[in-house]
Amino acid sequence: MDLRETAAEKRFRDEVRGFVQSKLPHDIRDKVLNFQSLEKNDIVRWHRILNAQGWGAPAWPKEYGGTGWTPLQRHIFDEECFLGGAPRYYSHVNMIGPVLQRFGTAAQKARFLPKIITMEEWWCQGYSEPGAGSDLASLNTRAERSGDKYIVNGQKIWTSYAHYADWMFCLVRTSATGKPQEGISFLLIDMKTPGITVRPIVGLNGGGDLNEVFFDNVEVPVGNLVHEENKGWSVAKYLLGFERAGHSFVGLCKLLLRRLKETAAAEKKHGKPLIDDPCFRHRIAQVEMNVLAHEWTLLRVLSLESARQAPGPVFSVLKVRGSELLQELSELLMECAGPYALPYLPAALSAGWQGELPCPLRVHMLAAHYFDRRSMTIRGGTTEVQKNIIAGMILGL
């Protein structure tokens, strides 16, 4: 295949780049590029700027208010947003939106889709449990039918941004007979319902985007069931396809590669820029080649998507390699910081923090980024599980 962009695709890239440069608020850009914590309003504010442009749901078809873009256009859009320092936390748009379009009732589509695309309502994902992370089918959160309601009891964990969420799309067990996958249902749960408790989990980097969520006799209308009772595993797999498709991280890898070169040029070793050290420069060159090869793999997958051909296990390959590259880049950035990376102050995650730092903020926050990237080979499907998926699909297991 020809990996070069067409003239039309180059014009599209220029349009997106110009829009991000002119419309992204500077305070949000500074937070993103300094690896500082974003508030809910930061993400919502930028999303609404995009939505006003008609770009609020890049992966949605036009009939639901989306862009109708090709897979390559969506890739270009995501890459330019990453490189421009824009937030990219729209899992509820890219995940629950397509699920409702595929499996939702007419009433569910009319109720939820308009407020998803405008981000009037924020969603979180209720999948993982303390005993059901990688082995998702072993989940134990139960939903028992009682008239026109389900009564939900159980616990979810590692729930990103649950403290912001208005709604959760949640996997629950509605039957204990047969194979574990056959007794799972997919519910939409209002997070304001009595009986729901959200507790924060402080991450290794000091951030607080993760949570655990407890359900104590939570009443959920039967009308919030998506698809059929005990058929939620099909919905879950469909959603995971969208999640893993977004986990190639090519745009973020390119941003970090640029940041790595800038930091290595600014930091000194024996009075000379670190990038002038032959050994370190070789490592930068090696990771740049790996990022380029990773991008080419993604472009081949996008070509298959455009031709409506099944990409097979490549999404899992992209997830594994992308998360490894993010960790490698974050490690090299930490080495650029040297001893200044050691006295890490999590309080500096918050924008507007006025305390003293032993080095510039752009260097100090490399530690937070390094700690956060340790999770990349776990979240969204662990590397070990992804390799099992790859082997199973290739060998027909």
CATH number at residue 15: 1.10.540.10
Beta carbons of 243 and 315 less than 8 angstroms apart: no
pLDDT value of residue 245: 61
**Where does a domain end: 196, 231, 266?**
231
Beta carbons of 201 and 172 less than 8 angstroms apart: no
Assigned domain for 25 exists: yes
- 196, 156: one domain: yes
- 200, 258: one domain: no
pLDDT value of residue 102: 95
Per-residue pLDDT of the chain (397 residues; tens, 9 = 90+): 667 889 999 999 999 999 999 999 999 999 999 888 888 999 999 999 999 999 999 989 999 999 999 989 999 999 999 999 999 765 678 889 999 999 999 999 999 999 999 999 999 999 999 988 778 889 999 999 999 999 999 999 999 999 999 999 999 999 999 888 999 999 999 999 999 999 999 888 887 889 999 999 999 999 999 999 999 999 998 887 766 666 789 999 999 999 999 999 999 888 999 999 999 999 999 999 999 999 999 998 888 776 676 666 788 889 899 999 999 999 999 999 888 887 778 888 777 777 888 788 888 888 888 998 998 888 877 888 888 888 888 887 6
Q: Is 85 left (phi over 0), alpha (psi -120 to 50) or beta?
A: left
Assigned domain for 99 exists: no
Assigned domain for 109 exists: no
Assigned domain for 26 exists: yes
pTM of the shown model: 0.90
pLDDT value of residue 389: 82
- 272, 342: one domain: yes
d(CA 246, CA 71): 11
Assigned domain for 117 exists: no
**Where does a domain end: 231, 265, 291?**
231
Q: Is 221 left (phi over 0), alpha (psi -120 to 50) or beta?
A: beta
pLDDT value of residue 244: 61
d(CA 105, CA 102): 9
pLDDT value of residue 1: 63
- 253, 391: one domain: yes
Q: How many domains does the chain have?
A: 3
Question: Range of 214's domain?
Answer: 123-231
- 181, 280: one domain: no
Looking up residue 314, the CATH number of its domain turns out to be 1.20.140.10
pLDDT value of residue 44: 93
- 302, 332: one domain: yes
pLDDT value of residue 165: 95
- 171, 273: one domain: no
- 214, 281: one domain: no
Tokens representing residue 395 in the block: 């060998």
The 10 Å Cβ neighbour count of residue 276 is 13
pLDDT value of residue 235: 94
The alpha carbon of 158 is separated from its chain's Cα centroid by a whole number of angstroms, namely 13
- 206, 327: one domain: no
Looking up residue 140, the CATH number of its domain turns out to be 2.40.110.10
Question: Three-state SS across 237-297?
Answer: HHHHHHHHHCCCCHHHHHHHHHHHHHHHHHCEECCEEHHHCHHHHHHHHHHHHHHHHHHHH
125, 124, 122: which is closest to 139 by C-alpha? 125
Active site residues: 243
Convert 135-147 to b/e letters by CB count within 10 Å (16 or more is b): ebeebebbbeeee
